[in-house]
Amino acid sequence: MIMYKIAFHNKVEIPQLGLGTWQITDKPQMADVIRAALSLGYRLIDTAAAYCNEMAIAKAIGANEVKREELFISDKVWNTSRGFADVQKACRKSLKKLKVDYLDMYLIHWPASMKLYPNWIEINADTWKGMEQLYRDGLVKSIGVCNFKVHHLQELMKSAEILPMINQIEMHPGMNQTEVLNYCNANGIKVEASSPLGNGQILKNEKLIEISKKKGKSAAQICLRWGIQKGVIVIPKTTNIERLEENINIFDFVLDLNEMEMIDNIPYCGGIGIDSDEVVEFG
Ligand SMILES: NC(=O)c1ccc[n+]([C@@H]2O[C@H](COP(=O)([O-])OP(=O)(O)OC[C@H]3O[C@@H](n4cnc5c(N)ncnc54)[C@H](OP(=O)(O)O)[C@@H]3O)[C@@H](O)[C@H]2O)c1
């Protein structure tokens, strides 16, 4: 099985497809999913402190023989741990829960909302200073953000000493994210598509089904392949072992320009659809 990789500006490489784990909290289920995923060739595992599954992931990884250096573990700091000191504490807590010495990638889960915090720029800048410190201390091999829009990135880059390596944003057919994607591409920031299947909601779209019949691939595979050809990292979540296999078998076909354009033109379809400027602080 071929697995494409993408290199960050610091030369760290990330697999272009990984496993999303939001809403998988059950330990035996996590063990089954991770065992199957690793044997199928998945190496990137996306988690977050807020998913409350870091310990389940640690247990599942511990039961397998894949070496630590072959894995790419990505975690996120939650909104309640923003700021220079707290983000560092939160990271150390996550490292303990995951039973690892370092993370391959650590992300700010949400920017501070401008609706709630008049000083959102300073909060994000201060949290980023803590991320930079973790990077310099070697506890995390790469650092980035999630759900940052162009204005969040522009402000952050005014004070950042290390540019974010990645921005994880909701992106799937029906949510092209053209503006953020173009901005990130122009500034050397890689994009990772969360909810690359639109949280399952886009899979019944008739254009996707038409292309899927023509290619002899499932609608999910078409969504993921579209993401791969857009140059982004995709992290679909499933607890179904057959779908795990389906979701990784996307490196043996190509969507042509016409098919890519048809998918680009699918009208808006919100999957999770949270606007980070509107977001109410949850949790
Ligand atoms: N940074 C953020 O704020 C953020 C936000 C959202 C998500 N994420 C990350 O992105 C990951 C993926 O996003 P997501 O979990 O929202 O949704 P997703 O991966 O877009 O879709 C998952 C849904 O699609 C179903 N599914 C998976 N593969 C399928 C297939 N081949 N055919 C049909 N249905 C399929 C799953 O059901 P089954 O499990 O029953 O198969 C589940 O209901 C998350 O797990 C998380 O790691 C990050």
pLDDT tens per residue across span 174-210: 999 999 999 999 999 999 999 999 999 999 999 999 9
Q: What is the pTM of this model?
A: 0.98
Query: Domain span at residue 182?
Result: 12-200+233-239
**Cβ of 276 less than 6 Å from ligand 1:** no
Known catalytic residues?
51
283 pLDDT exceeds 60? no
Q: Write down the mean pLDDT value for the chain.
A: 96
pLDDT of residue 271 exceeding 60, the answer is yes
Per-residue pLDDT at 279: 65
Residue 233, classed as helix, strand or coil, is strand
Q: C-alpha dihedral over 205, 209, 212, 216, to 10 degrees?
A: 150
Residue 161 C-alpha to ligand 1 middle, in angstroms? 33
Residue 247 scores a pLDDT above 90 = yes
Give the atom of ligand 1 at the shortest distance from the alpha carbon of 247: 31
**Residue 65 CA, ligand 1 centroid: distance in Å:** 26
Calculate mean pLDDT across residues 221-233.
98
Residue 86 covered by a domain: yes
**DSSP summary character for residue 188:** T
276 within some domain? no
Residue 210 lies in a domain: no
Angle, vertex CA 144, rays to CA 141 and CA 148, nearest 5: 175
Pick the atom of ligand 1 nearest to 246's CA.
Answer: 31
Q: Which residue, judged by its Cα, is nearest atom 37 of ligand 1?
A: 238
From atom 25 of ligand 1, which residue's Cα is the shortest distance away? 200
- In a domain, residue 18? The reply is yes
CB 177 near ligand 1, within 6 Å = no
- pLDDT tens-digit profile of 60-119? 999 999 999 999 999 999 999 999 999 999 999 999 999 999 999 999 999 999 989 999
Amino acid 282: pLDDT:
59
Whether residue 20 has its Cβ less than 6 Å from ligand 1: yes
Residue 174 Cβ inside 6 Å of ligand 1? The answer reads no
274 falls within a domain: no
What confidence score (pLDDT) does residue 129 get?
Answer: 98
For residue 78, the domain's CATH number is 3.20.20.100
Rounded Cα–Cα distance for residues 148 and 183 (Å):
11
The first and second tokens of residue 17, run together, are 């497809």
| Geometric angle at alpha carbon 84, from 83 and 85, rounded to 5° | 100
Residue 270 pLDDT: 78
Number of separate domains in the chain:
1
At residue 29, does pLDDT exceed 90?
Answer: yes
Domain presence at residue 246: no
272 pLDDT band, cuts 50/70/90, is: confident
- pLDDT at position 3 is 85
Number of H helices, E strands in the chain: 10, 10
Q: Does the residue 94 lie in any domain?
A: yes
Q: Is the distance from the beta carbon of residue 196 to the nearest atom of ligand 1 less than 6 Å?
A: yes
Q: Is residue 4 part of a domain?
A: no
